[in-house]
Structure 1
Amino acid sequence: MSQGAKGIFAALIRTHHITSRKKLARVKKAAAFYNLHVLIRSGGSPGIMYAEGPDEVSVSSWVNMVQGLRYKDFQCAQKPAAHQVRGAVDQTRNGGFEEVASVTEFGERMEQRGLGSWWRIGMGYKASD
């Protein structure tokens, strides 16, 4: 493992849009409950959610909860799986919830974590290797 990298489980969800503050409050509460770090792209189409945590069970449970909120066109674009990430390790360890307004900023966050290619494949921007 490279210096500064950390093993985590991560999942990526795509939806038509994320605008309901009430649903987002439930997503945030579940992230805290499962001690996950969650990044959301809200405010329009597409809606994107990324979650990472220390174990597959927690991330899968969170994905199932989000699916139960019945977001339009819900797709688990990248199912919970183990990854090596870099950056913001303390934030991951302590849970956390971040919200960004643009797909570009979301993509930049994925690049910073070393998950750019994984994210582009999940979003359908790049063919899987």
Structure 2
Amino acid sequence: MSTPGLWNALIRTHHITSRKKVTKLKQAAATNAVFVLLRTGSSPGIMFVEGPEIGVEAWVATVQKLRYKDYQLASRPAPVILEGSTGLQDGNAGRQGLHETESVKDFGLQMANRGIHAWWRKGMGYSQNDQL
């Protein structure tokens, strides 16, 4: 089940520790009107972005310009495909801006709450299942 107008992407890096770079990512999230979730601190660095197609692609381009170590576009920008009938939680639907978490476990829980846990697991390389 696809959500009209919403796109997302997933990026992996070695780590996200530079507050200067996080500030630039926050500015880009506000400029492009997208929701961003970062896993900051030690390895691995994870970035999730969701919003309109143009905003997601522009935000991903901003990340590329910041030259993160071991940058990998794990899941290219594409329309959001929700799992089953869980879907986006009402509280998440209109959220924008940059949000941070320090644990992979919490990041995974937030992906499950958004209805894209299997997509996230596949992008991270935790699951080899081709079907979502």
In the superposition, the TM-score normalised over structure 2's length comes to 0.88
After the TM superposition, which residues 75-94 of structure 1 pair with which residues of structure 2 at under 5 Å, given as runs?
A: 75-83=72-80, 84=82, 85-87=87-89, 88-91=92-95
> 1:61 Cα deviation (Å)?
1.1
Q: RMSD between aligned alpha carbons?
A: 1.4
1:11 aligns to 2:12 (yes or no): no
User: Percent of pairs identical after alignment?
Assistant: 51
Partner of 1:69: 66
Return 5+ residue gaps in structure 1 as ranges.
none
Letter in 2 for 1:106: F
Partner of 2:24: 26
Partner of 2:101: 100
Aligned structure 1 segments of 4 or more residues deviating by more than 2 angstroms: none
Letter in 2 for 1:113: R
Are the equivalent residues in 2 in contact too, given 1:121–1:128 (CA < 8 A)?
yes
- Greater mean alpha carbon deviation, residues 71-80 or residues 5-14: 5-14
Return 5+ residue gaps in structure 2 as ranges.
none
Distance 1:97 1:24 in 2: 9
1:60 aligns to 2:57 (yes or no): yes
> 1:6 Cα deviation (Å)?
4.4
Report how many residues are paired.
122
